[in-house]
Amino acid sequence: MIVDPDVVGLSRLQFALTALYHFLFVPLTLGLAFMLAIMESVYVMTRREVWKRMTQFWGVLFGINFAMGVATGVTMEFQFGTNWAYYSHYVGDIFGAPLAIEGMMAFFLEGTLVGLFFFGWDRISPLKHMLVTWFLALATSLSALWILIANAWMQNPVGAAFNPQTMRMEVTSFKEVIFNPVAQSKFVHTVSAGYTMGAMFVLSISAWYLLRGRNVDFAKRSMTVAASFGLAASLSVVVLGDESGYTVSENQKMKMAAIEAMWETEPAPASFTLFGLPDTKARETHAAIRVPWVMGLIGTRSIDQPIPGIAALVDDAKLRIADGIKAYDAMLVLRENKGDEQAKAILAAHDKDMGYALLLKRFMDDPRKATPADIQRAADSTIPNVPVLFWSFRIMVACGMYFIFLFAYAFWRSSQRRLEGRGFLKMALWSLPLPWVAAELGWIVAEYGRQPWAIEGVLPTALGASSLTAGQVWISLGGFVLFYTALAFVDGYLMLKFARKGPDGLGMWPKRPDAIPVTAQTV
């Protein structure tokens, strides 16, 4: 049965929008949680009140953001089932496990401790409270680890095999799924990106206070923490992003070629295209400025291995589709007759390519009837959107380089105790949106670049959708857009309100001698 292309398109749009939206909040939670833990540790070690107030003030902003992250995360956990039912059936045996483990190992800890972070100040000792904050921070990153193990399996599906009796992929080695090299590089890259975002958030808002001459002590201390934490994080995000690039080139050659707009295989070592205008029709890149050797070094860490171009990969896909059809045929035989030894042997020999035969299912019910023209069409469909990937990647990398520069500069200024320069403060303030730009583009490179696959080489996205009607998806998509837009306004309003009020406006700093904890009324 061919799934309604409208349902597939709308479901993809809904997933992309809800995931990108969710990802506005998650990295900030990751980063701020650690900064809170660091600030509170300084408080516990020095017992100076300003550090407690810093933890509490940034904690208020953390709380607003955390609520949004949790709220929008609910959608993600359930959307696989609602909109990607066949995907859930086909790979649930593997994919569900990391999500469930995330819940048990990380999110439960996070959800249980976050209340204590806010309500526990007077109920537990400072040391215990600090431990709560640390566990909260660790749990957020642990949560990211399991989500990225699941995601990495979509990029590099290891440790699983197709079972014709159950019509799905089943685990063969859970160890391989967990220790997926893609998961490791993705995890460190993603959490570092989150730490960078948290640091930028604190740096920028503190810069604004200094520009206004408000909360000076408070802001300077915050900036010092942000500068050092941000420098370490931005260095690791770029270095480990390179690791991520290397693992991509190992198992997602098409994504790599699309990011580079590399239409033809270049002699090794390949050059890096700094600028260019990829033309998908003509399959070439106009006005390209190339830096020799760099791509070959990043992608293969050698000077003699070529990186295959798009044309070569499409030819490769054609062969794999032909092989996949053999596997598909054997699978149908086995479904009728479990004991057919010949079919078993054929399936075993070709099941690595069965996903490629499924690419044909977008165009026809029975891949076995494919003509060479159909196969060509399916092979062409393996090329992702080259210009979008090409530019998303470049802007993301440029942002990353800029972060290193900015945090290094901030670090240097803070070590010189010269944080006041207005030029620097303005630069820090106006850089605030950039981590979000980089993070969202990073998501686009990773996930839009995975298309047309839901699971690389195993399950085409178009096949993974639920058997819904377009009308149903319109209802939910429209609902999410309205609802999320309203939430975005409320979130933005509260963030601005509390950032503007600042620790002084909230009565947190300087602490009044007669101060009682903030009441609902004074807020």
Choose between 45 and 475: whose C-beta lies nearer to other proteins.
475
Cβ-based nearer residue to other proteins, 96 or 181: 96
Taking CB under 8 A as the criterion, the residue among 68, 188, 321, 359 binding other proteins is 68
Q: Which is nearer to other proteins, 63 or 452 (CB)?
A: 63
Report which of 17, 78, 29, 107 is spatially closest to residue 491, judged by C-alpha positions: 29
Which residue in 256, 237, 259 sits closest to 193, CA to CA? 237
Looking at 383-455, list the stretches that DSSP marks H as alpha helix, in order from N- to C-terminal side.
386-415, 422-430, 434-447
The minimum distance between CB 35 and other proteins, in angstroms, equals: 18
Contact (CB, 8 A) for 496 and 201: no
Minimum gap (Å) between residue 100 Cβ and other proteins: 4
Residue with smaller CB distance to other proteins, 86 or 448: 86
Q: Residues 86, 464: contact at Cβ < 8 Å?
A: yes
Residue 435 falls in which region: left (phi positive, over 0), alpha (psi -120 to 50) or beta: alpha
**Total site size for other proteins, rule CB under 8 A:** 85
Contact flag: residue 41 with other proteins (CB under 8 A): no
Number of H helices, E strands in the chain: 19, 6
Cα 117 from chain centroid?
26
Q: Name which of residues 168 to 227 contact other proteins (CB under 8 A).
A: 168, 170-172, 174
Q: Which is nearer to other proteins, 262 or 325 (CB)?
A: 325
Residues 253-272 that bind other proteins (CB under 8 A): none
Stretch of 180-188, 204-212, 412-420, 460-468 lying at the interface with other proteins (CB under 8 A): 460-468
Decide if 61 contacts 495 (C-beta within 8 A).
yes
Give whichever of 72 and 247 is closer to other proteins, judged by the CB atom: 72
Applying the rule CB under 8 A, the residues between 149 and 178 that interact with other proteins are: 163, 165-168, 170-172, 174
- The owner of tokens 């580079």 is 260
* Distance set, CA 341 to CA 134, 161, 401, 504 (Å): 57, 18, 57, 77
DSSP string, 248-273: HHHH-HHHHHHHTT--SPPPSSPPEE
Min dist CB 90 to other proteins, Å, is 9
Of 468, 502, 503, 509, which lies in the binding site for other proteins, with binding defined by CB under 8 A?
A: 468
| Sole binder of other proteins in the list 16, 20, 101, 481 (CB under 8 A) | 101
Is residue 120 close enough to count as binding other proteins by CB under 8 A? yes
DSSP for 442-510, written as a single string:
HHHHHHGGGTTEEETTTEEHHHHS-S--HHHHHHHHHHHHHHHHHHHHHHHHHHHHHHHHHHHHTT-SS
Which 1-30 residues touch other proteins, going by CB under 8 A?
1
Distance CA 27, CA 465 (A): 28
Residue pair 98/177 in contact by the 8 Å Cβ criterion: yes
CA 284/CA 287 separation, integer angstroms: 10
The kind and range of the H/E element at 163 are strand 160-163
Stretch 469-488 residues interacting with other proteins (CB under 8 A): 472, 475-476, 479, 483, 487
| Residue 147: CB minimum distance to other proteins, A | 11
Q: Of 21, 43, 58, 66, which lies in the binding site for other proteins, with binding defined by CB under 8 A? A: 66
Minimum Å distance from CB 388 to other proteins?
29
Q: How far apart are CA 280 and CA 391, in angstroms?
A: 14
**Nearer to other proteins by C-beta: 161 or 289?**
161
In the block, tokens 């300077």 appear at 220
Identity of the residue, 147 or 298, whose beta carbon is nearer to other proteins in the bound complex: 147
Within 70-99, the residues that bind other proteins by CB under 8 A are: 70-75, 77-78, 80-83, 85-86, 88-89, 92-97, 99
Which C-beta is closer to other proteins: that of 193 or that of 378? 378
Is 489 one of the binding residues for other proteins (CB under 8 A)? Answer: no
- Residues numbered 288 to 347 that lie near other proteins (CB under 8 A) are 335
**Amino acid identity at 113:** L
Specify the stretch interacting with other proteins by CB under 8 A; choose among 249-257, 278-286, 292-300, 492-500.
492-500
Q: Min. distance of Cβ 481 from other proteins in angstroms?
A: 12
CB 485 within 8 A of CB 23: no
Q: Which is nearer to other proteins, 411 or 484 (CB)?
A: 484
Q: How far is the CB of 440 from other proteins (least distance, A)?
A: 20
Enumerate residues 123-152 that contact other proteins by CB under 8 A. 123-124
Query: How many Å apart are CA 137 and CA 1, to the nearest integer?
Result: 46
Tokens describing residue 472? 């149903």
**In angstroms, rounded to a whole number, what is the distance separating the alpha carbons of residues 494 and 26?**
17
| Binding piece for other proteins, criterion CB under 8 A, among 183-191, 269-277, 344-352, 464-472 | 464-472
**Residue type at 123 in one-letter notation:** R
Q: Which residues in the 494-523 window bind other proteins by CB under 8 A? A: 494, 497-498, 506, 516-523
